[in-house]
Amino acid sequence: MSLTQMGPVYSGRASAVRAGEVVLSLVASGLVGMRGWSGVRRLQHPYDRNLQLGLDRLAALCVRAGVGAPVGVQDLVAVWCAERPVDAWPVELDPDAQVGGERLLIGGEPSEFCLEWAVAARDVVSEVHESTLVKHVKDTACALGRPELYARWRKFVTEHAVLERGEFVAAKNAVLDVPQWATWVEESYGLVPAEAAVGGRVAVCGGCGQWIAPRADGRVRCRVWRCARRHDLPEPAWVEASGARRLEPELVRFVALPGRPELDLAQRLAARGARVVLYPKLDALDLVAVWPGGFSVGVDVKDWHSPYLLARRIKTFPVWGADDPHAYRRGFLVVPRDRLDANPRYLDILARNSAALKAQPHLKVVCDDELVGLCPDLRPAGEVVCGP
């Protein structure tokens, strides 16, 4: 293999870090693309193109470092990704990336670390774009002048991982004045495949609320980070698989799982008397909460394992006039408490690497518990809504 075919030559530490991030993002994206939510236990061709691209660039870095390179894609996946932590790879990465001990595959499945670096590939190599379905829902809701439809669809798929036959029909007919709604629901869910069922039933996690792909040995245990570390995880619920539909894997990863802490926070603020609007203006923010008396907050919830990667994804908070139905007085970026407990350096790394936070010093970064404590506690309880 000619080194001239393996990508650009990098010089200087910044370029070396960039090269390392490209490799990591390509390989992570390739792993996710191979098998989706059901994992990569059984290696098979064709491999995702990103894996080959990542292998080529990694091989070049191995040659420069004078170490042996992976012998093909299978060696990259089965050995380098499954057994070797990333800090043992001959790549240079920023210390704030916190790659020590991190592996891309755990138990044959993409790790949370892997999933976030796959998302990062959108910025690093510009090969992954926003889900076509999500974009279609947004564009159609905007064209119809019904932005609340996007919020309603997003809330529904976050709360419903599996639909029985009758529930699926009812969901499609839930918004009869918008014919596109039935198509959105149809495209959001697929039939439960045989490999996702155990004894004719599909499991739904009692923690995160998403369907669980059984392990190779038949055991059913949720692999989501927050669930995997719990000792008190509730037993899964079971739904008859015949005729049932499950949320598509991409929507599980990029809509439903991030949506859980958003909806949980919305309910906690509503319990304190707020009227909480979800995803105002087609997701300009995750929520705006307004209390009687005028106290109001605009919130983005960020449930990321890596503060280094999250720092790149923080956007500029919108500024709306006082007469706007979604106007708020204070802006907050919220990180779930357990993320901060697991990583004491989280907020420091986030502040150091986020250009958006530096440009918006009025924004306050807090954990969910802290935000709730800063807000009024009025009665009666408020409500969570999907529109103005």
Res. 129: pLDDT tops 60: no
- Read off the tokens for 209: 């609320």
Q: What angle do CA 72, 91, 30 make, to 5 degrees?
A: 45
pLDDT at residue number 33 = 79
Query: What is the pTM assigned to this prediction?
Result: 0.81
3-state SS, residue 205: coil
pLDDT at residue number 5 = 33
pLDDT at residue number 223 = 83
pLDDT band at residue 9 using 50, 70 and 90 as cut-offs: very low
Mean pLDDT of all residues in 89-102: 94
Report for 10-19, 103-112, 174-183, 224-233: range of highest mean pLDDT = 174-183
pLDDT at residue number 215 = 78
Residue-wise pLDDT for 177-221, tens only, equals 999 999 999 999 999 988 888 889 999 999 999 999 887 777 888
Residue-wise pLDDT for 240-254, tens only, equals 999 999 998 878 888
Contact indicator for 273, 304 with CB cutoff of 8 Å: no
Res. 38: pLDDT tops 70: no
Share of the chain above pLDDT 90, in %: 69
Three-state SS annotation for 120-167: HHHHHCCCCCCCHHHHHHHHHHHHCCCCHHHHHHHHHHHHCCEECHHH
